[in-house]
Chains A and B, each alone.
Chain A
Amino acid sequence: MTDLGPVWSALWSELPVGVILVATVLVAWLASVLVGRLLRQSYPPVARAARQAAVGVISVIGATLILQQLGVNPDVILVILALLGATVLIALWGPLGNYAARYFSDIYLPFKVGDTITLRGFSGQVIGINAMVTVLLTEDDHLVSVPNDVLLKEVVVNTSPQAWKEVTIPLSIGNNVDLALFESDLLKSISKLKTRLDPRFPPVLTTRSRTAQATELVLTLMLRRPEDRDAITQEANKRLGELLQGSRTTRRPAG
């Protein structure tokens, strides 16, 4: 068997930094596409996070290789990265927990802004959910802030009328997508689930906010039966994912 070690070492030592950089970008893009495809039936924010994680990991590997090529010892780079990661993790343990809880609250917590909830003896209307806390307005006009990780650990009672019926699915649409066409296709697709939804409450897509990059929306569905909650959520997410992956949502010229 031919020993390729010296050949590889020679080639590697001659490889320009620019080539590694381009290769890193290409591989990161490829990984993002692949992960997106694999997770297309998942909850869209989770799929997006997985794509970002894949891009992040490949970028770190690429950066390490580039530094190595520039003469920095790879062991030193890895030790520095590990120490940095551990420091950040220890320093932000609490906030990260809250952030993670917020991230998953859209999936696991059965309430939204406007609902009335009770936990740990506090009862009030949810008036805000940010990265760290959920803010309640009590009947006597007091503001109660609840760390988001508490919401995942504690029993929360949603006392809003017919709260069990409502399924809200947040989604983020890039501004390169034709929103009118996406909404039209989404309504047609979700209408196929009509028999499982309350006929008095048609699906509604509400715009939450808009940035230069994306529009944040929420799809609201009202269940006919409580036991369909998970199945409907999953099916709606699957349909959303398919639509977002679809090719029909090309950008229209701005008016």
Chain B
Amino acid sequence: MERLSICINTQTPLVQFLTPPDGRPLDSSVRDLAQLREGVDYRFSPGGVTRMVYPLVRRLLKDGILSEAHWVALNPRGPPSIRLGGLWLHNVSIDDERMAAYGKVKEVIWSRVHELDRPSEHSDLFWTEAFAEYAYYNRMTSERMRSLDDRHDFDAFYIHDFQQMPAGHMLATLKPKIFRWHIPFDATAIPDHWRSILKTYLDSYDVIVVSAQRYLDSLQALAPKGRILRMYPYVDPADYAHPDRATAVARTERFGLGTGDRIALLVGRMDPIKGQDLAIRAFAPLAAEFPRTKLVLVGNGSFSGSAAGLGLSKSARWRAQLEAEVAELGLAGRVVFTGHVDQGELDALYERCRFSILASVKEGFGLVAVESWLHGRPVIVTERAGIAEIVEDGVHALLFDPDDPDALGRQMRRLWDDPGGKLRARLVRNGRILAEQCSIDAAEVAERSMLAEVTEQ
């Protein structure tokens, strides 16, 4: 296979630009990220799609599979283009009014796909003025990709995220287009009025990648023209450090965690879909029974919800609601909200926790379970996560049904009441074997094979 030049597109940018303490605007002449300071001028987007795509791109560049890579994303605060090693980041910007309309449409689609509202509630979504602005953003993105293609003559386009789906349709090219659908897919959740346009968009792609077999099976119902592939999401184990106990205690001091605290960890953005409320309610009856236990909730808003991103206020509202519930249940001091943490702090929290929880009401895959195994910690996994299809209850993780109000509490009890830690050790041992399927090594093989297929067919 010859070295490839590809164009990647995500909504969330790899790098979010911050407003420095002195308030001065970013120097628009900056062309290389190395000229800026991490944590002051910019930060890497935590979690999500970028956490997965970046290690892969880095690896493919390092291994010479890619000759160059360009990454187009929505980034209102970013310079037009900036370099990060062998990768070029290109930022698309739209005005606040359009951004709000785009965000609204995106949230509606997201809520419906996650079945958080009634199918009939937004049946006319694609006829609204807000959708016209959503199309505007996607056309801006596709035009950006096209102009880059004029200059760089890409071999393929790799478009991620459901909200970017129209961009591939708008991009008139004979070159291969790959679309990765990261969230759950259940054809029965798609309103009748959305099906034709969804199919029109999906038909534009040569390959559609989903994260679980059940999504692949369901997507067949729409009979897209391209091939559908199932590929598990992945992380690079090299990105995870294992600090010693003393370092871990020091790095987590600011969260008020005592050295003898027994911690249950939930990592996920502040969003009702992540099920933080389920974890709090499950923890409430256990708090008295297991003293010195704490539930630590890590995360703030997504790019959409953060001040550095789209500025949608969903995450702040959800956190306030959770804090009120914690107070009401008398759990003040026993439930800790950390907000955003850096990678070092996250590693330290994993090292300090007894187990972690993936409590989502619905989850495309659930890479936090893999992260937990990589840190040698067992995990309780919702049955509604894509990863649940490869997890055997009691073997790799403990599964629970989020509709059963007592189920999560029962599994938490098993891990806190585990004399000798035999159950925890077994879950971690077997979980690590599963984690190999979700590693960058496995992903590189699968992605190389797919890229070779679409570019050489």
Contacts and interface: CB of A to CB of B under 8 A. Distances in A.
**A and B assemble together:** yes
A126 B75 CA distance: 42
A202 B196 CA distance: 8
A210 B146 contact: yes
A250 to B, nearest CB: 15
B286 interface: no
A206 interface: yes
Interface string A41-64: 000000000000000000000000
A181 B98 CA distance: 11
A207 B132 CA distance: 16
Interface stretch (B122-130, B233-241, B433-441): B122-130
B132 A187 contact: yes
A201 interface: yes
Given A191-B127, A199-B123, A204-B197, A183 B147 contact: no
Interface string A210-230: 100001000000100000000
B92 interface: yes
Contact of B195 (A200, A205, A208, A254): A200
Contact of B196 (A183, A185, A200, A205): A200
Among A181, A199, A222, the most chain B Cβ lie within 10 Å of the Cβ of: A199
A121 interface: no
Given A194-B127, A207-B172, A188 B132 contact: yes
A185 B146 CA distance: 21
Contacts of B139: 179-180, 183-184
A215 B170 CA distance: 11
A255 B91 CA distance: 9
A219 to B, nearest CB: 12
Nearest to A184: B136
A180 to B, nearest CB: 4
Interface string B126-142: 11110111011101100
Interface in B308-340: none
Contacts of B140: 180, 255
Contact of B200 (A199, A204, A255): A204
Interface in A156-202: 179-181, 183-185, 187-188, 191, 194, 199-202
B296 to A, nearest CB: 42
Contacts of B172: 207-210, 215
B200 A180 contact: no
A255 B92 contact: yes
Nearest to A188: B132
Interface string B53-82: 000000000000000000000000000100
Interface of A: 179-181, 183-185, 187-188, 191, 194, 199-202, 204-210, 215, 222, 254-255
5 cross-chain pairs, A with B, having the tightest CB-CB distances, nearest first: A207-B172, A202-B126, A180-B139, A184-B136, A187-B132
Given A201-B197, A202-B127, A205-B170, 5 more contacts: A179-B143, A194-B127, A199-B124, A202-B126, A255-B147
14 contacts: A180-B139, A180-B140, A183-B132, A183-B135, A184-B133, A194-B124, A202-B197, A204-B200, A206-B169, A208-B172, A210-B146, A254-B147, A255-B90, A255-B143
